[in-house]
Amino acid sequence: MKKLKSLIFVLAMGVGFQAVVMAQHEEPPPNVRVARATIQSLAPLTIVPGTVVSRNDARLAAEVTGRLLEIADVGTRVASGDVVAKIEDTIIRLRKDELLAEVQRAKARLKYLESEERRYVKLAESNLTAATKLEETRSDRDVSRSDLQVAKVRLAQIDDQLDRTSVKAPFSGIVVERLMMPGERVETGKNVVRIVDQQHLEVIARAPLEYYSYVRPGQQLELRTGEVIASGTVRTVVAVGSEHTHQFELRLDIESDLFPVGQTLRVSVPTSNVRKALVVPRDALVLRPEGITVFALDKDQKAYQVMVTTGIGTGEQIEVIGDLSDGDTVIIRGNERLRPGQTVSIMQD
């Protein structure tokens, strides 16, 4: 009897130990992140190359002839109206002094003739002078007035030339290139410095003419380079192709701090009209030998696997066709090693 009790006790202890071991090896529910399948308006897209350019990019030219005294260094940030280059003005200033003297002489001559006119008027009233002498004086006075006006206009022209010895920025930007160096002699119309506005940028792209009707001003298009994804707003569409390219041009406004001037991008251009599609985040897709699948959750927080085919993609969203509905919960993190029927734990953001 004692042996039987001992055997039962040993068996009970063994069963209990096995239960403890099994409990210790039971896997906890895997942690996952989830998102919703949603219906969105999408259109098929094609990728075309684009380039970031500034809407204000100018090569500033000299407007007077002379020796270049100063020029801003490359990288200098300037505001509209700031001086970026200075041309020697000695000859122009000497010419201004000369014209100032001419103006003073013309004023003195006019003052004398006006005085003479008044004197002859009084003499004419007493019949002490000939009318022809009065008319001659008035004629000389009118000529003197014209001479004074001509001298003032020439002086204004010289002042304008003096102002133009300072090459000024027509807009705020940054000096990106020195086209001449201090000490060189510049001629009127010769480019001196290049300034680029880095705050007002746009993307220029060209796409096949067959897609022209699907691109409209105000439309948001995706821009991508490397890992950076952004969007641009179509500002204008130029529907002028050529017999060689058969392309149209589109320009998109972008934020100033997204890309540098000259950056090449990939622009997503719609190739047909917009339609409704069921989309999920791209991270929801699981690529396996049997095909593309998505793990979704049922009401009991258990994962089930759905075979899908993909369609239109936009940004981080992609169209899926399969046994999924709008509002279904799909797993986007932790889905690589899931098995159908597993209970999961949803991580909170």
Rounded distance between C-alpha atoms, residue 152 and residue 148, angstroms: 6
pTM of the model: 0.65
- Which element (helix H / strand E) includes 199? none
Burial 207-221 (b: 16+ CB within 10 A, else e): beeebbebbeeebeb
134: Cβ contacts below 8 Å, ≥ 6 apart: 117, 120, 121, 124
Closest CA to 312 of 323, 301, 302, 320: 320
Helix (H, G, I), strand (E, B) or coil at 313: strand
Query: Domain 60-195, what fold?
Result: OB fold (Dihydrolipoamide Acetyltransferase, E2P) (2.40.50)
CATH number of the structural domain 26-43+276-346: 2.40.420.20
The top-level CATH class assigned to 45-55+200-272 is mainly beta
6: Cβ contacts below 8 Å, ≥ 6 apart: none
Place of tokens 């009209």: 273
Each of the 349 residues of the chain gets a pLDDT tens digit; together they read 444 445 444 444 554 445 444 444 456 888 888 999 999 888 888 899 999 999 999 999 999 999 999 999 999 999 999 999 999 999 999 999 999 998 898 888 888 888 877 877 777 776 656 667 777 778 888 888 888 899 899 999 999 999 999 999 999 999 999 999 999 999 999 999 999 999 999 999 999 999 998 999 999 998 999 888 889 999 999 887 667 778 999 999 998 788 999 999 999 999 888 888 999 999 999 988 889 999 999 888 889 999 999 988 777 888 999 999 999 999 989 888 888 888 888 887 6
Domain ranges of the chain: 26-43+276-346, 45-55+200-272, 60-195
Beta bridge partners of 230: 223
70: Cβ contacts below 8 Å, ≥ 6 apart: 85, 86, 182
